[in-house]
Amino acid sequence: MATLQADMDMEKWGNRLGELTPQERSIVAQKATEAPFSGIYTTNKESGIYRCKVCNTPLFKSDDKFDSNCGWPSFDDAISGAVKEQTDEDGRRTEILCANCGAHLGHVFMGEGFTQKNTRHCVNSLSLTFEKKQGGAENLKEAYFAGGCFWGVEYYLEKLKGVQSVVSGYMGGVIKNPTYQEVCEGNTGHIESVKVIYDPSLVSYEDLAKYFFEIHDPTQVGRQGPDVGTQYISAVFANDEKERAIIERLIGFLEKKGYKVATKIYDKSKFYEAEEYHQDYYERHKKEPYCHGYIKRF
């Protein structure tokens, strides 16, 4: 059995490793396999999202789950970009890992003919957690906002109906994988941002964006509240022209009401997830944000 693998991003694991059971640890960190038909999700047919046990990133959707009768949860697709593949140590099979934190998930097999996609992601239940879906069967979407310290933006957006999760991170800068320290120094060009994963059947992009404009002050230039610097500016990273048009319309509306909106609109660029200790900061510390609050503007 391999020792703690090199692909694992220790930064992202933080102290999560200590919260796992020895059996979970042996799977996610040392690539062990749970006994077939022993996992709790093998025959689970509920609608929802399967997340990484270690870092909570959404990995698989129930829509892609099928009955392979192989003894482990089987998916014929993964959420785009969420799963990394590499040749297994046995040199034969293809191992799958969480692309975010490197946790071992299982293996992927092609050409077995189970489904149209002809692919089987064979995953240990113990590498996953399951979040039952609240809304309809529509696919989840992602939206990107920056409105000052990401702790506060994440805190409020997570409370909105239809939002499945909010991740704090960095966008718009010039270096890869920036650290909090580097972003704080203000020379990397990154902006503290959040990735919002939402169910468009429950909340529209427009409603998300309106709420975003109401939980921070979009008129502040080069700062947000007590946090000063280009890393705290108000910005939206639009996935496409449709989102850009919605933001432009909302800014126009606010300007008509007399707000001098400073919010910048950028095309979506790479989102770098922030260090584990920044995620759900207020939730975990049982505190209320000092830098954000809700003000009705629409």
Kindly list the catalytic residues. 122, 149
271-286: b (≥16 Cβ within 10 Å) or e: bbbbebebbbbbeeee
Q: Does 98 participate in binding Zn ion (rule CB under 5 A)?
A: yes
Residue 26's identity, in one-letter code, is S
* Closest to Zn ion by CB, 103 or 251: 103
Q: Does 100 participate in binding Zn ion (rule CB under 5 A)?
A: yes
Q: Does 123 participate in binding Zn ion (rule CB under 5 A)?
A: no
Shortest distance (Å) from residue 207 CB to Zn ion: 29
52, 97, 123, 254: which one binds Zn ion (CB under 5 A): 52
* Closest to Zn ion by CB, 97 or 246: 97
Contacts (Cβ under 8 Å, ≥6 apart) of 57: 51, 82, 98, 99, 100, 101
Shortest distance (Å) from residue 17 CB to Zn ion: 12
* Closest to Zn ion by CB, 52 or 233: 52
Q: Which of 11, 7, 3, 14 is nearest to 284 (CA)?
A: 14
55, 143, 167, 203: which one binds Zn ion (CB under 5 A): 55
Shortest distance (Å) from residue 225 CB to Zn ion: 32
Q: Does 233 participate in binding Zn ion (rule CB under 5 A)?
A: no
Shortest distance (Å) from residue 142 CB to Zn ion: 17
**How far is the C-alpha of 237 from the C-alpha of 268, rounded, in Å?**
5
Q: Binding segment for Zn ion among 17-25, 34-42, 46-54, 258-266 (CB under 5 A)?
A: 46-54
79, 97, 101, 149: which one binds Zn ion (CB under 5 A): 101
Q: Does 254 participate in binding Zn ion (rule CB under 5 A)?
A: no
Q: Binding segment for Zn ion among 72-80, 91-99, 205-213, 242-250 (CB under 5 A)?
A: 91-99
Q: Binding segment for Zn ion among 17-25, 45-53, 129-137, 231-239 (CB under 5 A)?
A: 45-53
Q: Does 54 participate in binding Zn ion (rule CB under 5 A)?
A: yes
Chain residues binding Zn ion by CB under 5 A are 52, 54-55, 57, 98, 100-101, 103
